[in-house]
Structure 1
Amino acid sequence: MLTDRELDVLRPVGRGFSNREVAAELFVSDTTVKTHLSRVLTKLDRRDRNAAIVFAHDNRILSS
Structure 2
Amino acid sequence: MAALTDREREVLAFLVAGRSNGEIAKELFISDKTVSVHVSNILRKTGTTSRVAAAALAERRPPPDQ
TM-score (norm 1): 0.90
TM-score (norm 2): 0.87
User: Residue in 2 aligned with 1:34?
Assistant: 36
1:7-57 CA distances to partner (integer Å, 9 max, x unpaired)? 011101110100000001100000000000000000000011110010111
User: Residue in 2 aligned with 1:50?
Assistant: 52
Structure 1 runs of 4+ off > 2 angstroms? none
CA RMSD across the alignment: 1.2
User: Residue in 2 aligned with 1:20?
Assistant: 22
Gaps of 5+ in 1: none
Percentage of matched positions with identical amino acids: 44
